[in-house]
């Protein structure tokens, strides 16, 4: 690990020289590229330098143990104990920082929420989840943009697709993909029996133009009139758009905007994100389980979380975390859940990285 950190520090110092080069400063594209890499390495290098300083101080304190003065020896032992703990903490921090970073972490994210089994009750819970994510987005000072919304007459949501704009949005939401199960007594249930319903959530990183090369001739575009709940026309023009990617059969619709042009642009964003996600999933399947853990990919079809209303609890089944604060979580206070998942997958990645290093040794 030490050799790897030394090479990172060497690259960091090289970048500092490049960023002060007048030719690089005049070339904005190159400057931004190097500045981004410099920023990413800065945290690792600052912790590494503190780690090297701690090692040096430990060495000095161990030398003091040879001193004949009992008082100096005592102080040296106390200093060694403190420095040893600091060394261990810094080593753990460096191991975490060296985990291969998901290249999509800083991207905007597209979230798709769909009501599953449970009829109206599932649609109502889909609305609850959408509100939860909306509140969390507000708390992070990010922006949410509705791409497609299909509601019900009773206030539920059959399907909603939204893009969240904010640095690090994907890294926050990427573990939310999967089936969210709710257990509660429906307001329409006279007998007071607990019903179980399900909602699926898909999380996709926004695709950048350079990542995909889509042939326009492979996309079929259909336009039609937008409709609202109950099939009532909400638009007298053909503004709704349906895009079909012919090679894969992927279909995306958008009717949120009154403008056909805007709807097509939004639909294209979703289509690109789905194509990128399909490409990532295909790549992950070809790679080892180790790499899957490193980028935090998971099985979308599995039940990941249960929201139990009678007991006021939320349980994430992947990490065995149960919180008795359902109301607060549904208000968007989901950071404890997200942090728990991040810690869990980072620990997995660290273990995989350790096993990989041992196998190469």
When pLDDT is cut at 50, 70 and 90, the band that residue 296 belongs to is very low
> Reduced to 3 states, what is the DSSP secondary structure of residue 57?
helix
Q: Which of the two residues, 2 and 77, has the higher pLDDT score?
A: 77
Would the pLDDT of 359 be above 90? Answer: no
Please state the pTM of the whole predicted model.
Answer: 0.65
Q: Which run of H or of E encompasses 118?
A: none
Measured at the CA of 300, the angle between CA 297 and CA 40, to 5 degrees, comes to 25
Would the pLDDT of 2 be above 90? Answer: no
Q: What is the average pLDDT across 186-199?
A: 79
Task: For residues 203 and 207, give the distance between their C-alpha atoms in angstroms, rounded to a whole number.
Answer: 12
**Residue 183: predicted pLDDT:** 93
When pLDDT is cut at 50, 70 and 90, the band that residue 237 belongs to is low
Return the minimum-mean-pLDDT range out of 71-80, 311-320, 322-331.
Answer: 71-80
**Residue 287: predicted pLDDT:** 45
When pLDDT is cut at 50, 70 and 90, the band that residue 301 belongs to is very low
Q: Name 178's bridge partners.
A: 201
Find the radius of gyration of the CA atoms of the chain: 26
**Residue 361: predicted pLDDT:** 53
* Domains of the chain by residue range: 2-97, 109-347
In this structure, what DSSP letter does residue 324 have?
Answer: S
**Dihedral of alpha carbons 190, 128, 182, 161, sign:** positive
When pLDDT is cut at 50, 70 and 90, the band that residue 41 belongs to is confident
Q: Report yes or no: 174 and 338 within 8 Å, Cβ to Cβ.
A: no
**Residue 259: predicted pLDDT:** 82
Q: Name 242's bridge partners.
A: 222, 253
Q: Which of the two residues, 285 and 149, has the higher pLDDT score?
A: 149
Cα 55 from chain centre: 35
Say which residues have a Cβ less than 8 Å from residue 18's Cβ, sequence separation at least 6.
24, 34
pLDDT digits (tens, 9 = 90+) for 141-184: 999 999 889 998 888 999 999 999 998 899 999 999 999 999 99
Mean confidence (pLDDT) of the chain:
83
> Reduced to 3 states, what is the DSSP secondary structure of residue 302?
coil
When pLDDT is cut at 50, 70 and 90, the band that residue 231 belongs to is very low
Would the pLDDT of 298 be above 50? Answer: no
> Reduced to 3 states, what is the DSSP secondary structure of residue 285?
helix
Residues in the chain: 361
Q: Report yes or no: 229 and 152 within 8 Å, Cβ to Cβ.
A: yes
Neighbours of 299 (CB within 10 A): 12
When pLDDT is cut at 50, 70 and 90, the band that residue 111 belongs to is very high
Please report which residue ranges of the chain form alpha helices under DSSP H: 2-19, 22-26, 28-64, 70-97, 119-139, 169-173, 260-286, 289-295, 326-330, 335-360
Q: Report yes or no: 167 and 147 within 8 Å, Cβ to Cβ.
A: no
When pLDDT is cut at 50, 70 and 90, the band that residue 215 belongs to is confident
Q: Identify the CATH assignment for 109-347 out of 3.40.50.620, 3.20.190.10, 1.20.140.10, 3.30.70.1660.
A: 3.30.70.1660
Q: Report yes or no: 225 and 233 within 8 Å, Cβ to Cβ.
A: yes
Mapping DSSP onto H, E and C, the string for 254-280 reads ECCCCCHHHHHHHHHHHHHHHHHHHHH
């Amino acid at each position: 690990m030490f050799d790897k950190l030394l090479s990172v520090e060497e690259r960091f110092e090289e970048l500092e020289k490049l960023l002060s080069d007048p030719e690089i400063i005049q070339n904005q594209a190159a400057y931004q590229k190097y500045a981004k890499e410099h920023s990413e390495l800065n945290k690792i290098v600052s912790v590494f330098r503190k780690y090297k300083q701690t090692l040096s101080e430990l060495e000095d304190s161990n030398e003091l143990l040879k001193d004949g003065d009992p008082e100096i020896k005592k102080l040296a032992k106390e200093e060694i104990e403190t420095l040893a703990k600091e060394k261990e903490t810094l080593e753990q921090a460096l191991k975490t920082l060296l985990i291969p970073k998901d290249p999509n972490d800083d991207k905007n994210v597209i979230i798709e929420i769909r009501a599953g089994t449970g009829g109206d009750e599932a649609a109502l819970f889909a609305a609850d989840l959408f509100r939860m994510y909306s509140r969390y987005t507000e708390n992070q000072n990010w922006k949410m943009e509705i791409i497609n919304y299909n509601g019900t007459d009773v206030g539920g949501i059959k399907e909603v697709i939204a893009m969240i704009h904010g640095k690090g949005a994907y890294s926050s939401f990427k573990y939310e993909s999967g089936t969210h199960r709710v257990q509660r007594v429906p307001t329409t249930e006279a007998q007071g029996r607990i019903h179980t319903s399900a909602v699926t959530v898909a999380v996709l990183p926004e695709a950048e133009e350079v990542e995909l090369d889509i042939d326009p001739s492979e996309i079929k575009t259909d336009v039609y009139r937008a409709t609202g709940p109950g099939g009532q026309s909400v638009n007298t023009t053909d503004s709704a758009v349906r895009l079909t990617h012919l090679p894969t059969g992927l279909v995306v619709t958008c009717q949120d905007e009154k403008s056909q042009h805007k709807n097509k642009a939004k639909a294209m964003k979703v289509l690109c994100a789905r194509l990128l996600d399909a490409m990532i999933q295909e790549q992950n399947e070809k790679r080892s389980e180790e790499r899957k853990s490193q980028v935090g990919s998971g099985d979308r079809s599995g039940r990941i979380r249960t929201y139990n209303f009678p007991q006021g609890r939320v349980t994430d089944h992947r990490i065995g975390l149960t919180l008795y604060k359902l109301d607060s979580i549904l208000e968007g206070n989901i950071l404890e859940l997200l942090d728990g998942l991040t810690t869990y997958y980072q620990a997995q990645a660290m273990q995989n990285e350790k096993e990989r290093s041992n196998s190469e040794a």
